[in-house]
Amino acid sequence: MTCQHRVVVTGIGIVSSYGNTVDEFWNGVRNGRTAIKSWQPHDVDDFPVKYAATIDKQAFGRKFAPWVESHKNIERRGLFGVVAAHLAFKDARLKPDASPGVSTCSGAPEISDTDLAAMVGDSETEVIQNLRRHRHQLTNHSGIRCGNDSMAAAIARHLHADGPVLNVNGACAGAAQAIGLAFQCIRRGEKELMVAGGADSVLNLRTMSKLFLLKAPSTATRYGAALCRPFDKGRSGLVAGEGGAILVLEAQDAAKRRGADIYGEILGYGSSLDAYKITAPHPEGAGAHTAMAAALRDAKLPAEKIDYINAHGTSTPLNDAIETRAIKAVFPHALKTGLKISSTKSMIGHWIAAAGAPEAVVTLLAIKNSEIPPTINLDTAAKDCDLNYVAHQSQSARVDYAMSNSFGFGGINASLIFGRYSE
């Protein structure tokens, strides 16, 4: 393959707990403001998971009322994705006939609690009868039909995409993989314009119960809203968040031709598999190491060039220690030079399948704004977490090259490398 186009990011769209503009989102993370608060499913008061970073349904519904009305056939997180894609397209100042490709991830099928309540019955026969009665609804709600592709298709329809349209499945690395695949697609010359990223929400009874039974989320209460504490010795599990983030990726030539503003450049992508256990990451971080090394190789950059790592940093006891170990293996100088690392999840929670997308946005904005957002709630670093995690407050620093890590459940890993754009 001789074609090697440079790939730049020309648009960002975001739907988050902070708001729905790039500025609102950036101000939230750079100021270390937590979006995590007390949470319970509607009409439930004793659910074991007590905190999450949520999007105000009513406010979102009011602001995007026409969207909610015209996209009744997709689940809520799908709507986050469509709105984010629309905002990204607008941010990039693209014309409606630009015909992009789409590469997104939206995770496990989402079934709303209302729909679930409508389906249930006290016997299998009654369940089936309820299902039959609601069969029109089953088609409209992809959570019930157990596909998870409605968001990718809805974005493609909305933006008049002409392909490729990819619905990526990669657990918590899914959105990072979706961005990586879109990047490769443009680099090889298959397409000039792609929208890529993810949207997800696990804040529903079905998914959250299953996550709880997998012992993934923290059920602690002693830290209150400061529960998400990546790399801290008091960390006790992930804290879920929700939202959508979509990036417009463009071949540099095409972006320059139309005079687009450029946030930054994507330089490398690496993915890997732990091949260890479905329920735990490789203890030495072998998969994380492979993904980071592959991304560096792909970007043709030595490790020393990386100024900042946006860590996966989930606040789970296993991930944060293992990610630290893997970073030290790939960046042996990290401890000595104080390589800056931070976890966006400490503020916005874990967007699960979509997590890599807002974190890619933060990484790009850190480069663009020469400011590294903090890891909040990091009061006492754990013994096995001994790097510079930019605790509590953001730091001004020129960032030319930065990496964003996403390491998913089941050992699916992805790393992306972004760079400051210069001709």
Partner 1 sequence: MPVAFLRQGCSLLPGIKKISEILHTAEAIPIKTKTLAPDDTLGLTNRCGLLPPDDLDSLKVGRIIRKTSEQQSRWLIKAGCETWQRLYGEQAGGTHTGLFAGLATIACDDDKHVYCFKNPKRKAIAATLLRKTRPLAGLALLNTTACSHLATQLQITGPNAAFSPHADAGAAALTEAYFNVLEGNCARALCGAGSQKITPLYFLAYESLLKKFAATPWFPTESAAFIGIDSVYGTADGIPPDGILIDTLRAFGSEKKHRLPAIDKLLARLRVNNRNLPEQVIHTGTVSYSDTLRVLTASHLPTANQFFIDTMTGYTGPASVLLAVNLTLEIFKQGIALDQHKTVKKIAQAPQTSALIIAQGLEGQVNYLLVGKAP
Residues involved in catalysis: 172, 312, 350
Q: Cβ–Cβ contacts within 10 Å for residue 354, how many?
A: 35
SS3 assignment, position 38: strand
Least Å distance between CB 150 and partner 1? 8
Least Å distance between CB 129 and partner 1? 6
Least Å distance between CB 165 and partner 1? 5
Q: 378, exposed or middle or buried, with CB in 10 Å at 0-12, 13-18, 19+?
A: buried
Considering the complex, state which of residue 177 and residue 252 has its C-beta at the smaller distance from partner 1.
177
φ, ψ of residue 110 in degrees (nearest 5): -100, 125
Considering the complex, state which of residue 34 and residue 201 has its C-beta at the smaller distance from partner 1.
201
Q: How far apart are CA 401 and CA 337, in angstroms?
A: 15
Least Å distance between CB 3 and partner 1? 10
Specify which residues 249 forms β-bridges with: 9, 194
Considering the complex, state which of residue 38 and residue 129 has its C-beta at the smaller distance from partner 1.
129
Considering the complex, state which of residue 346 and residue 413 has its C-beta at the smaller distance from partner 1.
413
Residue pair 363/419 in contact by the 8 Å Cβ criterion: no
Least Å distance between CB 181 and partner 1? 6
Question: Cα–Cα distances in Å, from 7 out to 116, 297, 359, 418?
Answer: 43, 16, 18, 10
Considering the complex, state which of residue 150 and residue 315 has its C-beta at the smaller distance from partner 1.
150
Strands (E) in 335-378, as ranges, are 340-342, 371-372
Q: How far apart are CA 107 and CA 191, in angstroms?
A: 25
List Cβ neighbours of 275 (8 Å cut-off, separation of 6 or more).
282, 287, 411
